Structure 1
Amino acid sequence: MKYEVGDEIIVLISNEEGRVVEIMSDKMVMIEVRGVKFPAYMDQIDFPYFQRFSKKPVVVEAKRPTVFLDNIPREKPKKSEIKVADGVWLVMIPKFSLDDFNDEIVENLKIYLVNKTECSYEFVYKQLFLSGTNFEIHNQVAGFQDFYLHDIAFESVNDSPSFHVDFSLATPEKKKAEHFETSLKLKPKQVFQRIEQMKEKNEPTLSYKLFDTYPDRPFEDKFELTGLAAKGFKIYKANEARQHLDPAREIIDLHIEKLVDDWQGLSNFEILNIQLKEFEKWYDLAIAHRQRTLILIHGIGKGKLKDELHELLKTKREVKSFVNQYDPRFGYGATEVFLGY
């Protein structure tokens, strides 16, 4: 068991410290934070190691203002020295300093877009926290060049930053896709582990690959539909297909009492099957409508439905990332899914 009663912990989403007061199961514990007790999954808390890197005697602003492009000092694009095609990357360079106790801490992360391909790309970049968009820029990065984007304070990693980039070719090609979207979401624990590995291997950066090669345009299989129309089949234009679909939802409540009326006599296996079929239905509609996010309300319980949903999400091509974290509306009983096309 990772935790014991009395262990000091930190809540990853809020960075609040507390302690373990009860072991509920092999996945959940009861914790106490500022006199309030509530259950939490073990992957939503951690030992307070992260503060060794982020805690610093500075004044924390009440609200982080949105940073606009005009307020950011521009840096000239830097040419990569080694021209070996290896995709497009989002690279973070930690800036270290010493605190009052002469311990090494990370002050901020410098964010770069690194193009290790021969193509030049137009891009729309957005960096978001849980509270909303923090930084946005529309620009171009040439082949084998690095483009400085902005800095983020290291303590803001606790707010689970996400990065969204929509690429298009600077010089359009007939056989290539019109645009390509990709996203990245960071968890505080993962960043801490990556910095530990970076220091052990004496590496200068944290690097995340966005894509290897720019995708081709989807193949369009054209065939004659006149004969089908003559036989009474309904023929829709592809660009009008969505208007004939059922409307999609962004928030899906999978509690069994919300799905069927007479559920008390069902077995756990039957209940789970109904919930998963309902998920598949709304997931398919979300993809058809090209939604960007989907919130699945699964509750806390024993975590069986949550575990099954997470395993399914790992197999879905359109799922870029998903996170189960505290939400004022649902507590820890919902998973937010980020989709990309």
Structure 2
Amino acid sequence: MKFEIGDKVVVRITNEEGEVVDIINDKMVMVDVRGVKFPAYVDQLDFPYFKRFTEKKLFPEKPKPKTYIDQVPKEKIRELPRREPNGVWITFIPRFETDEFGDDVVTLLKVHLHNQNDQGYQFTYHLNYFGNPEFELKNQVLAFQDFYIHDIAFEDLNDSPSYWFEFSLLSPDKKKADYFEASLKLKPKQLFAKIQEIREKGEPTFSYQLFKQYPDKVEEEKVELGKLAAAGFKMYEASKAKQHLPPARTVIDLHIEKLTDNWKNMSNGEILQLQVDEFEKYYELALAHYQPMLTVIHGVGSGRLRDEIHDILRHRKQVKYFVNQYHPSYGYGATEIYFQY
């Protein structure tokens, strides 16, 4: 390796001086130039000693005659080219190392938040594995700046990581939303394919856009209760709303023949959607009635309905945990859900 962390370097293309802040692999390093961090190939960098030596004069020049203030011409103000906003991105930088067989393998991913907009944001970041919190960070990212978040070990990518953000403006604007949520969930197969793709293209990073523009505030429509009552709608006090809800169940059976008689004329996609809608209905009722648990019978089959339900449960904060229940009374295919309030 030609460079080490802390080395002062010169970017050959722009002739700008910077500092090596991280080693990505044998061919690439992370460089910081005036607060902007970016990956660069080592053959694009050089040590600054030769540049400084050639710029230094061997013999001092004769002093120039004094110039008085009224002799200095007014400087023309030059407008720098304006960068077009391009949204906020989450960027992954794979770090490669050579194993004992001489192959380059990924050991970890460096996660960065890249703000390509002309306004700064406060943000809260959560990393979850299988829906369970693993890492949290609160900070801010300025306009047109890059923010390093943390590293993720490569072996942890099999644990269904999900990346969740909540953004708010550094400079509040009455016309803009108070906060904005954005998230990214990648399956391990997608991540591995993306890493292979950038290796083949010789690219150092891959990114996903979290949002293009920060959203405007949505004005809530005011509802006149008197008009609703006059139109025949039933009105209840909020404190008594629970007693007007449909009854909840502790066990729901999602076998399609239990839900409709017309299932033979439905496609597989329509059947799955009806089953998921029924699950969502009784899930919400269980929460509204503060049930400690709910058992969902989904059967064995191909496992598509079970996987769909489990994927939903991993992202619900009211779920304390859930387990598969292979009991004969449930047809060897059910999930027990335990809630936390």
TM-score by length of 2: 0.55
Partner of 1:329: 324
Deviation track 1:135-166 (CA, whole Å, cap 9, x = no partner) reads 11111111111111110111111112111111
Partner of 2:85: 85
Between the two proteins, the alignment pairs up a number of residues equal to: 241
Q: Do the aligned residues in 2 keep the contact of 1:129 with 1:160 (CA within 8 Å)?
A: yes
Shift of 1:205: 0.6
Partner of 1:38: none
Partner of 1:110: 110
Partner of 2:156: 156
Partner of 2:29: none
Q: How far apart, CA to CA, are the structure 1 residues paired with 2:141 and 2:118?
A: 11
Partner of 1:200: 200
Q: Do the aligned residues in 1 keep the contact of 2:324 with 2:334 (CA within 8 Å)?
A: no
Shift of 1:114: 0.8
Distance change in 2, residues 1:155/1:133 (3 Å): same
Q: How far apart, CA to CA, are the structure 2 residues paired with 1:247 and 1:135?
A: 38
Distance change in 2, residues 1:230/1:160 (3 Å): closer
Deviation track 1:298-329 (CA, whole Å, cap 9, x = no partner) reads 5442578689x89xx9xxxxxx9xxxxxx852
Partner of 1:125: 125
Shift of 1:115: 0.8
Q: What secondary structure does 1:140 align onto?
A: strand
Distance change in 2, residues 1:287/1:180 (3 Å): farther
TM-score by length of 1: 0.55
Q: Do the aligned residues in 1 keep the contact of 2:126 with 2:135 (CA within 8 Å)?
A: yes
Structure 2 letter corresponding to 1:206: F
Distance change in 2, residues 1:100/1:133 (3 Å): same
Q: How far apart, CA to CA, are the structure 1 residues paired with 2:267 and 2:236?
A: 37
Q: Do the aligned residues in 2 keep the contact of 1:80 with 1:144 (CA within 8 Å)?
A: no
Partner of 1:169: 169
Deviation track 1:59-118 (CA, whole Å, cap 9, x = no partner) reads xxxxxxxxxxxxxxxx99943799431111111111111011111011111111111111
Question: Gaps spanning 5+ residues in structure 1: where?
Answer: 1-74, 290-294, 314-319, 321-326, 336-341
Q: Do the aligned residues in 2 keep the contact of 1:254 with 1:275 (CA within 8 Å)?
A: no
Q: Do the aligned residues in 2 keep the contact of 1:87 with 1:116 (CA within 8 Å)?
A: yes
Q: Which has the higher contact order (CA 8 A, sep 6+)?
A: 1
Deviation track 1:277-310 (CA, whole Å, cap 9, x = no partner) reads 4533554788999xxxxx9875442578689x89
Matched, 1:269 2:265: yes
Q: How far apart, CA to CA, are the structure 2 residues paired with 1:106 and 1:86?
A: 29
Shift of 1:173: 1.4
- Percent identity, aligned pairs only? 45
Partner of 1:47: none
Give the number of the structure whose alpha-carbon radius of gyration is greater.
2
Partner of 1:182: 182
Alignment of 1:275-314 (within 5 A): 276-280=273-277, 283=280, 298-301=298-301
Q: Do the aligned residues in 2 keep the contact of 1:123 with 1:139 (CA within 8 Å)?
A: yes
Question: Gaps spanning 5+ residues in structure 2: where?
Answer: 1-31, 39-81, 288-294, 316-321, 327-332, 336-341
Structure 2 letter corresponding to 1:93: I
Greater Cα shift, 171-180 or 143-152: 171-180
Structure 2 letter corresponding to 1:87: G
Distance change in 2, residues 1:189/1:267 (3 Å): closer
Distance change in 2, residues 1:106/1:275 (3 Å): closer
Distance change in 2, residues 1:302/1:100 (3 Å): closer
Partner of 1:8: none
